[in-house]
Amino acid sequence: MKKPLRLIRRLCAVTLVTGGLYALWLIGLPLVLAFAPLKSAWRNWIFRHWAKGMAWAINLHITFAGVPPTAPFYLVSNHLSYVDIFAFAAHLDCVFVSKSEIKDWPLIGLLCRSMDTIFIDRERRTDIPRVIRLIEKAWKKKQGVIIFPEGTSSKGAEVLPFKAALLEPAVKAALPVSYASITYQTAPADTPAYLSVCWWGKMTFMPHAFDLFRLSQIDAKIVFGSSTFLEADRKILAQKLHRAIAAQFTPVTLAEEPCQAATAP
């Protein structure tokens, strides 16, 4: 009986957090539009508190090791789930680069567009210059940009090969690239994280989300890299970043040590 009640509570909490903060965003928008420099700060505040609220709603405990980069930055990470968004955004002022399909999802697409998500059509290489311009625009606003160069989320057995195209903005701007790895663990009585938190294969969003809401607790651990990479060739940059992330990544299917919750800054 606990899991159905937990699902209902989580659905209510997610709705309350998302609806309340989006309403607050809309209320404050006319004021910040009149004072353009405030818009980015207002967006950052809303997005960070939404991510923290979502973490609270689904009982996501986030720990991190290493030092997070300071905006503007370019951060590369492995990708396991839409939960990655909550985990990173709760600690960093950032925008994400995401696949273009999400833009047209009911409600979720609207929320992503409102929070300046940069959408890319991965089937069209001609879309990359437009995305690069948007990334550069985000840097000018002192935003951090997070990309997941695997191109898809996985079950967390390994770090998938990186697609180098979206590293071109960092190469062009001669900007050092930061990196991080993320992994998950669930409670012993819950479904293992690679089946319940990671979103991969033919899993569909709503059934996966409902199963995730039934979990008693989710432990996420982010490890920020101890260095940055600066290269003039995006393929070499992709290879170095992949090796660095793979070296520190704890596979989800092997994660056995419980994570300890940390207080978000």
Dist. CA 178–CA 186, nearest whole Å: 28
Number of residues that make up the chain: 265
Dist. CA 188–CA 20, nearest whole Å: 33
What pTM was computed for the model?
0.89
Q: For residue 144, which phi and psi values (nearest 5 degrees)?
A: -85, 150
191: burial class by Cβ within 10 Å (0-12, 13-18, 19+)?
Answer: middle
What type of residue is 45?
Answer: W
List, in sequence order, every residue forming a beta bridge with 86; answer none if it has no partner: none
Q: For residue 220, which phi and psi values (nearest 5 degrees)?
A: -115, 140
Residue the block writes with tokens 């840097």: 139
The answer to whether 18 touches 120, Cβ cutoff 8 Å, is no
Q: What is the pLDDT along the chain (265 residues), one digit of tens a residue?
A: 568 899 999 999 999 999 999 999 999 988 887 776 788 889 999 999 999 999 999 999 999 999 999 988 999 999 999 999 999 999 999 999 988 888 888 888 888 988 889 998 877 777 888 888 898 888 888 889 999 999 899 999 999 999 998 898 889 888 899 999 999 999 999 999 999 999 999 999 999 999 999 999 999 999 999 999 999 999 999 999 999 999 999 999 765 444 443 433 3
